[in-house]
Structure 1
């Protein structure tokens, strides 16, 4: 089962599926180079050459593109543990990329998450419906993740709200304040929807709020005809997803270059 889920991930969720919403995309060999709002660059691929020198040449070309042809202030190279890429980590660190913490690639059936979960007392969970909702949720997520780019992510979320995108932001509210939030992003042309950005203020954790937030997003994914959920999960959210039937099929580590 795990092998089948990993194959579905590789077949459906890499390359073009990862750069939806980018303002510009350029191909260099197997690399996909994307520019996102907020001067964020992103590099992905389906596979790499079986040669460290060739990989180094691709890294040279990718950084040259972002340095000279874009205003990107930070560029993420997304790696996966199950890829055959000899010497990749050494190449990236040699080019000035810094590894962030690894995350588990979690995949499972949507039905496992769309459970009837009791809502904690005093908490309202709903889809963000206004610009104020989006900004409040984004600021909270930026605080939890210590994310300096949260404002640009908020602007992107506002744009999706105004365009009535299938992507949605879900929030948990207590006494008028957003205490937890997370996105649902259906992937066009695939069986998948992604759940991203799950964040809860420290003082509101361990009350079941994130579990309810996840269930509501899964119910929305079912309404959209999706059968599989995926997420890159930290140690906070992984146990919740595992209890709902998702499994870790690999890990992903972002390497980030900063101008």
Structure 2
């Protein structure tokens, strides 16, 4: 399939940055020129949907004041996600000046679900590894193990990550799917993990509420990289997206995963960068 990056980005903004979908326990609202989400797992998220040079600084102050006042004045950490085409063009610099910590820049890549399935046909995890989807009966334990994996791979814990995985999966079991790859032995060492987030129709077989399924949370231990695990996780998630009728896959791709995804047919449509604000005294 020939992909038009500009058209894909416009459709992505329309469907994924509109604030029309929230899971149980979450609230999403448009406040001035930003979209703000409060997650049940003690976190927040903001992205710009209508700022400019004259309104950005006031919007940043307003969001910092809002999150600083939460939880009885203790404040709540939140992420402001910046896209390359957001306005004003210096939004990231303004966030840093307001005390936000920037994270790594990633490529926003999008591809056809069907193209990915064709490109990954025959892909399997390597010998000695087992890929499985996380079920409700093991969810609490698997979420903790996935969080531990992320700490091992990235070198620091993600606050509240296990709790958020558990909440999101139970609040939206058809829209959130979790996967682990572990050693096929008694040790069951977690080698890799990933998740799929999508908005399927209200009933099985109904048209999806969004044309985009997000591939998130990919992490693999160093000594098992380069052996097809990531491709296997991409393929299984593409299969499940296809079953739900979702035509496109979307990834915020790191420098490690981007070349793999481009070989599978995904194209870059923009870049993203998260900026994190934390209450005073919280690392």
Superposition pairs of residues 26-65 of structure 1, within 5 angstroms: 26-49=29-52, 51=53, 53-65=54-66
C-alpha distance in 1 between matches for 2:150 and 2:260: 18
Q: Secondary structure at the match of 2:216?
A: strand
Trace 1:129-144 onto structure 2 (pairs within 5 A). 129=135, 130-131=138-139, 132-144=141-153
- Structure 1 residues 234, 32: CA separation in 2 closer, same or farther (over 3 Å shift)? same
Partner of 1:120: 126
User: Quick one: which of 171, 183, 196 aligns to 2:195?
Assistant: 183
Q: Which stretch shifts more, 9-18 or 195-204?
A: 9-18
Number of the residue aligned with 1:95: 98
TM-score under structure 2 length normalisation: 0.83
SS in 2 for 1:214: helix
**Residue in 2 that maps onto 1:224:** 244
Counterparts of 1:15 and 1:74, CA distance in 2: 22
Deviates most, 238-247 or 81-90:
81-90
Paired residue for 1:154? 162
C-alpha change, 1:159 and 1:91, in structure 2 (3 Å) is closer
Q: For each residue in 1:143-202, what CA deviation from the matched residue of structure 2 results, as whole angstroms up to 9, or x when unmatched?
A: 21234335x221222234445611110111113121011000113511111110000001
2:203 corresponds to which residue? none
Structure-2 change in CA distance of 1:86 and 1:18 (3 Å): farther
| 1:73 equivalent in structure 2 | 76
**Matches of 2:129 and 2:197, distance apart in 1:** 23
Task: Give, in angstroms, the shift of residue 135 of structure 1.
Answer: 2.2
Q: Which residue number corresponds to residue 204 of structure 2?
A: none
Structure 2 runs not aligned, ≥5 long: 201-208
Aligned to 2:79, the other structure's residue is in SS state: strand
Tell me how far apart the structure 1 counterparts of residues 46 and 133 of structure 2 sit (CA, whole Å).
31
CA contact (8 A) 1:98 1:257 kept: yes
Is the Cα–Cα contact under 8 Å of residues 105 and 252 in structure 1 kept in the other structure? yes
Partner SS state of residue 203, structure 1: helix
CA distance in 2, matches of 1:65, 1:10: 25
Secondary structure at the counterpart of residue 16 of structure 1: coil
Which of the residues 230, 247, 268 maps onto 1:248?
268
Aligned match of 2:234? 214
Secondary structure of 2:69's counterpart equals: helix
Would you say the 8 A contact 1:47–1:84 is kept in 2? yes
Distance change in 2, residues 1:155/1:78 (3 Å): same
Compared CA separation, residues 85 and 66, structure 1 to 2 (3 A): same
Pairs within 5 Å for 1:183-202: 183-188=195-200, 189-202=209-222
